[in-house]
Amino acid sequence: MNSVTKPTITAFKTSPDRGQGLARDMRVRWALEEVGQPYDVRLVTFAEMKQPAHRALHPFGQIPTYEEGDLVLFESGGIVLHIAQTRAGLLPDDPDARARAVTWMFASLSTVEQSIVELQFVMFTERDKSWYEERLAMVHDRIRARLGELSDRLGDADWLDGAFSAADLMMASVLLRLRGHGLLDEYPNLAAYVARAEARPAYQRAFAEQLAVFKAASLAAS
């Protein structure tokens, strides 16, 4: 460990996913739970995220951020890798295996998530366009191409490369965003992979924490 400071993360005051655990603070909460690191949460509204005070922490005005003493990080990939590199439990000890796990983290967040983020843009900004159905089908096919390749690589293994690592935490988090779109179920080994990830006690604790935030916000608003 390079620090014993209790970190503070930011999360949505009212998550747009209504507590489904798809916001990116979930990835950081899950990582902190896996390594047994207690943390504080500061909730921010959409308006606050775009203000200079938050942008000083996160140049792109998003969540999550991560503060630990003088260190400020943004971007879930960078935060999770920092947690994994400074606490035991999320990366293998062997240097080659560590490098492979990091490569899978990048693969999750760029190669695999690219079209999944695009799917959200289609849903949110193109739903009333004349081309909506055709574009949706095109993006679905791009996602299927990646899922097919990932499914082939995973085969009947439990995790991407040996024991569960930050690579699986990130890949499962990305794949979870497909829930409700029906695509994941076309690849039974990937659906089972995500279910295995969700069954982890650390995931369950993190999920409960973010759900409690959403429920509290709903109560306060009602």
| Residue closest to 69 by CA, chosen among 27, 1, 8 | 8
Q: Between residues 114 and 211, which has the closer beta carbon with respect to its own copies?
A: 114
Concatenating the DSSP letter of every residue in 183-220 gives -GGGSHHHHHHHHHHHTSHHHHHHHHHHHHHHHHHHHH
Pattern 29-58, its own copies, x by CB under 8 A: --------------------------x---
Provide, rounded to whole angstroms, the least separation between the CB of residue 15 and its own copies: 19
φ, ψ at 126 (rounded to 5°):
-125, 10
Cα 49 to Cα 59, 61, 194, 210: the distances in Å are 10, 5, 30, 18
Binding residue for its own copies, selected from 40, 96, 128, 156, defined by CB under 8 A: 96
> 126-155: which residues touch its own copies (CB under 8 A)?
129-131, 134-135, 138, 142, 146, 149-150, 152-153
Binding residue for its own copies, selected from 19, 106, 144, 205, defined by CB under 8 A: 106
Q: Determine how many CB atoms are found less than 10 A away from the CB of residue 84.
A: 24
Binding residue for its own copies, selected from 79, 143, 175, 206, defined by CB under 8 A: 79
Q: Is residue 158 near its own copies by the rule CB under 8 A?
A: no
